[in-house]
Structures are given as structure tokens and as C-alpha cells.
Amino acid sequence: VNTSAFYGTGAVPHAMAYAMTKSALYSMTQTAAVTVAAKGISVNTISPGYTEATGMLDGSIKAAMQGFRKTEKEVKDSFLSQVPTRRFVQVDEIAHLVSFLMNPLARSITGQNIVIDGGSSIVRHTPF
């Protein structure tokens, strides 16, 4: 199971290289999946959104605070307003997804990018 990010699912202003590498990881996953599928090996990618208690979320919040001159609460509220579930992904949710994908019950799931982001990748984002 490879780990990418929900930013790899579309265009990301001011982060072209980051988005491109995440998209490339998914392409690599598909190629690997086709290559080893006959051996009973599944290869997938998970793409988490903003995840609670991670440095990535903290860094994104700090950058937005500086870039938009907003408070931490304003930035978090703005981020959460663009997540239909109105909550950040939890680390244990990602762990459970990976555990499921590694389970024989998921052996027919291969070559997929599974986005775990509370639905934020399916809505149109608007900054502040």
C-alpha cells in the first residue's frame, strides 16, 4: 500500500511539483498492480486529506496563517468548511484502511487510489 495525498487527485495552485509527484505515485501503483496481479499480490494507493495530529496539517495551517494573515482558528475553520464531514481525518482511520487493504478479504481491490479525506476532494475549494 503506497501513501500519496488527496492533492494528487487534481490541480493544486502553487504546488505543481508536489501534485505531480503524488499523481505519478498513483500511476506507479497501477503499473505495479498489473505487473504482479497474477501472483495474487494487490497494490494500491491511499490518499489521505488533512490529518489531525500530523506535521503536514500543522505546516499547512501555519503557511495559510502567514499567507492570508488569518488566525489559527480562522484557518482551521476555513479548512474544515471545505470538508463535508466537518472534521479532519484521524490517524487511526488511515491505519484501519491500510489494515483492510492488506487483508485477504480485499484481494480483489488492486490498482486503486483510495481517497480518505472526509469528502473534501469532491467539492470545489475556495480560499477564505
Dist. CA 118–CA 50, nearest whole Å = 9
Assess whether 4 carries a catalytic annotation.
yes
Cα angle 90, 22, 54 (rounded to 5 degrees) comes to: 30
Q: Phi and psi for 77 in degrees, rounded to 5?
A: -60, -40
Assess whether 22 carries a catalytic annotation.
yes
Assess whether 26 carries a catalytic annotation.
no
Catalytic site residue from 18, 27, 62, 99: 18
Strand order of the sheet with strand 2-3?
Answer: 2-3, 45-48, 113-116
Catalytic residues: 4, 18, 22
